[in-house]
Amino acid sequence: MHSQTPYEITTLSAQPSSAYGEMLPHEIPPGVQLVALPGGIRTLAYTQPPAAPAPQPAPVAAPIPTWAKTTALLAPTVGGGIAAAGIGLSYAAPGLIAMSHALWSAVALIAAGAIAVPLVLRAARRPAGPAQITQNITATGLFGKATGTINHR
């Protein structure tokens, strides 16, 4: 039997009043309530709170994977290394700028040498004027053997 309360009801008696009249609300003992039964009769009844649901077991924490532990341990190390590299580069920046200027000067010197050296070698190989070739040919008789010399100057 259920009424409008969420409690399980066990009836005491069919009459809410005693021989001396109805009970006042402060006279009703704890655990007893005035309830209306389905037939319309009002009566006193023991009430019990609904049974509490069974407690849920505490969730078991899953173990932390090894890769997560390794990553968590490496993160500060990598961050510290990056910070140290940044500080080192800030101290080295003036020297690196000077080094880059020196390297560009060296590249310009090499490029100038690659162009100038072949021009100088070509100019050194040229003769001062046109080539002079002298031939001396001698022959004896109409069908005799001819001999000659060639001189380059």
Predicted local distance difference test score (pLDDT) of residue 42:
80
Predicted local distance difference test score (pLDDT) of residue 133:
76
**Residue labelled with tokens 């173990």:** 63
* pLDDT tens for the 153 residues of the chain, in order: 444 555 555 555 444 444 555 677 777 787 787 788 888 788 888 877 777 788 888 888 888 899 999 999 999 999 999 999 999 999 999 998 999 999 999 999 999 999 999 888 888 887 666 777 788 888 888 888 888 887 776
Q: How far apart are CA 94 and CA 114, in angstroms?
A: 31
Q: Which residues pair with 49 in a beta bridge?
A: none
Q: What are 105's two structure tokens?
A: 């000067």
CA dist 100 → 56, 96, 104, 114 (Å)? 70, 6, 6, 21
Q: Angle at Cα 145 formed by Cα 139 and Cα 151, nearest 5°? A: 60
Predicted local distance difference test score (pLDDT) of residue 2:
47
Predicted local distance difference test score (pLDDT) of residue 127:
67
**Residue labelled with tokens 């290394």:** 81
Instruction: Provide Rg for the chain, Cα atoms.
Output: 60
Predicted local distance difference test score (pLDDT) of residue 77:
92
Predicted local distance difference test score (pLDDT) of residue 33:
79
Query: Which residues, other chains included, contact 11 with Cβ-Cβ below 8 Å and sequence gap of 6+?
Result: 1, 37, 43, 44, 45, 46
Q: What are 18's two structure tokens?
A: 């005693």
Predicted local distance difference test score (pLDDT) of residue 57:
83
Predicted local distance difference test score (pLDDT) of residue 136:
81
